[in-house]
Chain A
């Protein structure tokens, strides 16, 4: 009896031993099996196989071939200055196709100033702004622009496209959120792409849609307040849209700005020098305080008939671009001749504010006259200087629409009126506008 009892006790003492050993055995079995399971398939090719692969590989052609009758391959050649009377392909026409809104392209005073600047400075600046490319004309133009727009500071870029495309990525980085109108122009789209932020599109000029998006974002923020405290939010809109020729509702946007704490970037390429009693753009048109807009960007290639662009706003905002705007730091500065021309154009604008009223009347006149054209519908508001004529009934295929519109343009050119098809890259645009 005693030995049996001892044996039972012996059994219970090494019980956890047995369990431990059992676990160890299971572990060993697992390891044995896991040896045959590889996580990475690293196959190594022999040299001969590599040579063969290199021989076999055929890349695509660098560029796909373009057929000879591709619509945009052959440009219309303009001989002579592109002013009110323009000579295209040998025909003299009245120019309804350039963005020369105030007619300053062949203004004598502007030309004289440009010549004087040419005599003093030559043509190019041979350097970026940081390395002796800053001329006194640049500084003068910047201060004149900031005074004209009644902001603290302005910064000058040497190319209109690069202005907004460099300004957006300077402030908005990965992780930030940008709300953009669907009809934003291509330059804005490139700026958004370069910034790598989260982009949310709202329907064109639809404030309810924007408010809905902003509310959704607010709810998201409540879920994660730490992240929300460092996520910057921006709204990017244009004053006068180049794609649809209508104006953004700025007062409502400002209300939304303060309600949801987002910053507004306003792109005024088409509305600078056009809207407002003195040409200051859409802020003057609506009577909005300019300090409410964080950044206004415009290019000087439309109303000011020069080349280049500028951003203006408070020093707090603009000064940052002097070190982080890529188109500013890494590119040569604007040729002084063009800056001098812009200064003179600005002088003319300031001296004679009546020209804006004249422009508005002419725009209304043209708008009313084009209203009843059969087969074509007019897109845009009466004050917009650049209007779009679209086909009322589309044939279904973009190509044939474009061909038809091209024939309209040719017909007009035969009768000495120059129009143009609005060009866009079909594959690259996010929301493709209809042909016009």
Chain B
């Protein structure tokens, strides 16, 4: 009882660190490994049959003329693709033929030869509820009124730009957007780029180089890892959201310097994300900032999923934790998720952005952002800030927060294991076993709900999951429909692994990482 009180007090002070990672019972892990083992054995058997000639080989083959070249792919590299992924690949790359709003239309496709080739039947499955697209604030819409300015820009500018920012592609509309982004985030200035992935991979090399140290979270996105690798700096990985691990690394780095020569590091850059897309967890921003200040490191915050989606007025994790945006050295984000367009930005102090204007790879070699996409972002941002005169933006943000809370609490009540922070609209539901992952996706589609399932290699091998993205455009009815289907499918496939009993009242508090004994 006493201990509970202490924990309760700590949480009141801390306020926002409700991140739960419940571990599954032992039999689940055993069955998962068993499942993979059986599929691998079958894979070997199939390969053998194909080699012997008993089974038809459906894979594309090298040209006759080039058969004596060095093989393009190693046999083992493609083992996973050939034998595991091929059997179940109808759950990914599902083509749609309407806008990616809260409901969409899927094109029906069937396979006559066990997923080696697909054939479109020509029919569409209408009104499938969309729980997979990153449409957090519902800006993926085709309402003619809302899109009037975008349509005007298409008529005026056309669709492409045909030049780089530094040459002749810097349109006045780009400058307007950058001004707006800087205002929105509360920083001195900002710069925008045509692609979110490229923003990371082309700007991290401009900021750090050899002789610098990058401390990157375990679960960082591929674009951050690629940018770090291309920069040539030393990369060290710390455990996900684990401040002790980060502090230990920082201390060791400052005290010992570079390996072998022991010269001091030129700079240390801590790279974290606002919301991690596979876990749904939120970075512990106040602690990271405290550490950064103590050890004089720089912080690079990637808010791809969190900008617009969390915070009272949609300003991202800095608002969620009440942190001064000037404390974060480099704020990066993308416009694909909450703003329904494409592209990315980097914001911060004026010196930083000036340097990037002159030295960023993207400004010099890559095309500028398309004008209609720019206009869409301007419109969406004005809506969120309330500058267009309505409260539509705030309404959407509140709706998203409500939807998130409701969805998460109902799922926990039902008994599913869910990862992530209570405020994050990314909800991963753990499924563990490979066969259940596939069955879940197919069952939900049969009930007209489109879900996203992820397995190895995007997640650890035993933690395959289904990931739901809650949107402000989802109505309560849609969410209820999804939850009822989840209940059904959960009972059918025995997916309710949580041994914890949840009451409908809100939880008091929890620590970051603990296992529950039943």
Contacts and interface: CB of A to CB of B under 8 A. Distances in A.
Interface of A: 45, 49-50, 53-54, 57-66, 70, 72-73, 75-83, 86, 88, 95, 97-100, 105-107, 110-111, 114-115, 118-127, 129-136, 138-139, 158-162, 165, 171, 185-187, 190, 193-194, 228-233, 258, 261-263, 291, 299-302, 304-307, 314-317, 319-320, 322-323, 326-327, 329-332, 334-335, 337-338, 341, 418, 420-425, 428
A62 B336 contact: no
B355 A63 contact: yes
Interface in B417-450: 450
21 contacts: A72-B364, A73-B358, A115-B155, A121-B98, A124-B336, A126-B337, A130-B92, A133-B100, A133-B133, A162-B195, A193-B230, A232-B70, A263-B66, A301-B162, A301-B367, A307-B194, A316-B63, A326-B223, A332-B342, A335-B373, A425-B364
Contacts of A106: 158
A329 B60 CA distance: 21
A409 to B, nearest CB: 10
A138 B107 CA distance: 13
A131 B132 contact: yes
State the 6 A-B residue pairs at the shortest beta-carbon distance, nearest first.
A159-B195, A331-B197, A63-B355, A75-B170, A316-B60, A161-B366
B96 interface: yes
A66 B351 contact: yes
A182 to B, nearest CB: 17
Contacts of B372: 114, 118, 123, 337
A81 B156 contact: yes
A315 B59 CA distance: 10
Given A60-B266, A232-B72, A307 B367 contact: yes
A129 B48 CA distance: 32
A81 B74 CA distance: 49
A77 B354 CA distance: 16
A1 to B, nearest CB: 72
A187 B365 contact: yes
Given A70-B358, A127-B133, A331-B195, A135 B95 contact: yes
Given A105-B162, A261-B69, A301-B367, A123 B254 contact: no
Given A118-B154, A301-B162, A305-B160, A123 B341 contact: yes
B162 A121 contact: no
B155 A111 contact: yes
A326 B98 contact: no
B133 A126 contact: yes
B505 interface: no
Interface stretch (B289-297, B399-407, B479-487): B289-297
B171 to A, nearest CB: 5
Given A54-B254, A114-B372, A124-B340, 20 more contacts: A54-B251, A66-B358, A70-B358, A72-B358, A78-B170, A78-B172, A79-B172, A82-B163, A118-B154, A120-B99, A122-B141, A125-B342, A126-B134, A130-B92, A133-B100, A161-B195, A161-B366, A165-B201, A305-B158, A341-B159
Given A86-B168, A338-B159, A423-B364, A120 B72 contact: no
Interface of B: 60-63, 65-66, 68-74, 81, 85, 92-101, 104, 107, 130, 132-135, 139-142, 144, 147, 150-151, 154-172, 175, 194-198, 201-202, 207, 221-223, 226, 229-230, 251, 254-255, 264-268, 294-298, 329-330, 334-337, 339-342, 351-352, 354-359, 361-362, 364-367, 370-373, 376, 450, 452
A115 B168 contact: no
Given A62-B329, A132-B133, A230-B74, A301 B222 contact: no
Contacts of B164: 423
A40 to B, nearest CB: 12
B342 A316 contact: no
Contacts of A75: 165-166, 170, 357
Nearest to A334: B342
Contacts of A420: 163, 167-168
B264 A57 contact: yes
A327 to B, nearest CB: 6
Nearest to A300: B160
A76 B160 CA distance: 18
A224 B99 CA distance: 56
Contacts of A185: 365
B444 to A, nearest CB: 13
B63 A291 contact: yes
A122 B340 contact: yes
A80 B93 CA distance: 38
Nearest to A127: B133
Contacts of A136: 95-97, 107
A301 B357 contact: no
Nearest to A137: B97
Contacts of A110: 158-159
Contacts of A60: 266-267
A302 B366 CA distance: 12
A239 B164 CA distance: 20
A123 B351 contact: no
A403 to B, nearest CB: 16
A127 B154 contact: no
B145 to A, nearest CB: 12
Contacts of B376: 123-124
A72 B133 CA distance: 38
B366 A159 contact: yes
A193 B144 CA distance: 45
A262 B69 CA distance: 7
Interface centre among A228, A258, A420 (most CB of B within 10 A): A420
A416 to B, nearest CB: 14
Nearest to B197: A331
Contacts of B221: 330
A326 B198 CA distance: 11
Contacts of A66: 351, 354-355, 358
Contacts of A335: 341-342, 370, 373
A50 B255 contact: yes
A156 B68 CA distance: 30
Nearest to B379: A123
A98 B159 contact: no
Interface centre among B74, B195, B366 (most CB of A within 10 A): B195
Given A70-B358, A73-B358, A162-B197, A341 B160 contact: yes
A326 B195 contact: no
Nearest to A100: B162
A158 B307 CA distance: 21
Nearest to A135: B96
Contact of A316 (B62, B135, B170, B329): B62
B471 to A, nearest CB: 9
A60 B211 CA distance: 11
Given A88-B168, A194-B226, A306 B159 contact: yes
B254 A57 contact: yes
Contact of B351 (A65, A291, A341): A65
B147 A118 contact: yes
A63 B142 contact: no
A75 B230 CA distance: 27
B439 to A, nearest CB: 18
A373 B179 CA distance: 42
Contacts of B336: 124-126, 332
Contacts of A86: 168
B155 A314 contact: no
Contacts of A59: 265-268, 296-298
A263 B255 contact: no
Nearest to A329: B222
Nearest to B297: A59
A330 B222 contact: yes
B290 to A, nearest CB: 14
A329 B158 CA distance: 28
A306 B158 CA distance: 9
Given A132-B104, A134-B93, A232-B72, A428 B361 contact: yes
A124 B342 contact: yes
B133 A53 contact: no
